[in-house]
Amino acid sequence: MAKPRVLVTRRWPAAVEARLSDLFEVQLNRDDTPMRPEDFRAAMGQYDAILPTVTDKLGAPSLDIEKPQTRIFANYGVGFSHIDVEKASGQGIVITNTPDVLSECTADLAMTLMLMAARRAGEGERELRAGKWTGWRPTHLVGTKVSGKTLGIIGYGRIGQEMARRAHHGFGMKILAYNRSPVAPEVLAQCNATQVASVDELLPQCDFVSLHCPGGAANRHLIDSRRLGLMRPDAYLINTARGEVIDESALAQALWFETIGGAALDVFDGEPDINPQLRDSDRLVMLPHLGSATREAREAMGFRVIDNLQDFFAGREPRDRVN
């Protein structure tokens, strides 16, 4: 029996690519360049499975094909807002993701961003590398204490809970949580967290706010100028979720006029393009979408994709089906 034909849209860890090649007839994207809509339309007529990532824009232009051969998008990552789920479902295409395996590493990165912003680490490194440091002095790059402060978490799923665990048990932080659905009392109790009824209720109470909610149209510009105005003038905003969750122009204004203390972003709206209004702010820490960028997480994500593919082609319901 012929092996299913599988297209991998970007380079993956070598161990995962090797395993895919053992199990399937695999086409790798060896030059690692993003695919265009016309590339996806052509691929959907040739491959049984396409393995996209967050960088792949699988909207209507990419999916405009009659009777595709592709039967599954096995997504490499948790978020799938880059896929037009309704159109893909209408074509009979199953969509899966990779939950669980990157929660700890993404929470580690969110903590990194929070500490960098609070302690002005990015500014300090730039000063050193530019040869501008003149030595220790009492008023130099004075930041904000993290321990014992209040952290608001928007999106109390797996990653949000891991962030709460690090903040509460590692830094003694008070945890407030906003989630679309009720969080089980025993889950809240793990970090002595309090669930609040709305984002508007959460923001004014927090020294730090960390975003861990889904992206997509429902949460686009969830943090806009009005909500930035609800934050304390010395509070910090952290985003490792999706770039579109923040109105970046409004954030740039809040940083410029110092209506919030600072921000730290690992994700951007329209990445890899960065809003030029953000580039010039010293009070903003920026990293290039590194949330899951550990060898352990990236390999585990790939092997989770393989689990879903094996389930699907064996006629079983994939464990991580999202549509």
Q: Each residue of 204-233: pLDDT tens digit?
A: 999 999 999 999 899 999 999 999 999 999
Q: What is the percent of the chain where pLDDT is above 70?
A: 100
β-sheet with 236-239: strand ranges across: 194-195, 174-178, 150-154, 208-211, 236-239, 262-265, 284-286
For residues 147 and 2, give the distance between their C-alpha atoms in angstroms, rounded to a whole number.
Answer: 58
Task: Please tell me the predicted confidence (pLDDT) of residue 55.
Answer: 87
Q: Which CATH architecture describes the domain 5-101+295-313?
A: 3-Layer(aba) Sandwich (3.40)
Q: Which of the following is catalytic: 166, 242, 298, 304?
A: 242
Q: Predicted confidence band at 284 (pLDDT cuts at 50, 70, 90)?
A: very high
Q: Which of the following is catalytic: 168, 271, 299, 321?
A: 271
Joined together, the tokens standing for residue 48 give: 């049984």
242 is catalytic: yes
289 is catalytic: yes
What residue has token string 């499975």? 49
Q: Which of the following is catalytic: 221, 289, 299, 321?
A: 289
CATH of domain 103-286: 3.40.50.720
Amino acid at position 12, single letter:
W
Report strand pairing: 236-239 vs 262-265.
parallel
pLDDT tens, position by position, 30-65: 999 999 999 999 999 999 999 999 889 999 999 999
Amino acid at position 72, single letter:
I
Q: Predicted confidence band at 1 (pLDDT cuts at 50, 70, 90)?
A: confident
- Tell me the average pLDDT across 105-123: 98
25 is catalytic: no
| CATH 3.40.50.720 domain locations along the chain | 5-101+295-313, 103-286
Task: Please tell me the predicted confidence (pLDDT) of residue 158.
Answer: 95
pLDDT tens, position by position, 153-168: 999 999 999 999 999 9
Global pTM reads: 0.92
pLDDT tens, position by position, 129-142: 999 999 999 999 99
Higher-scoring residue by pLDDT: 247, 79: 247
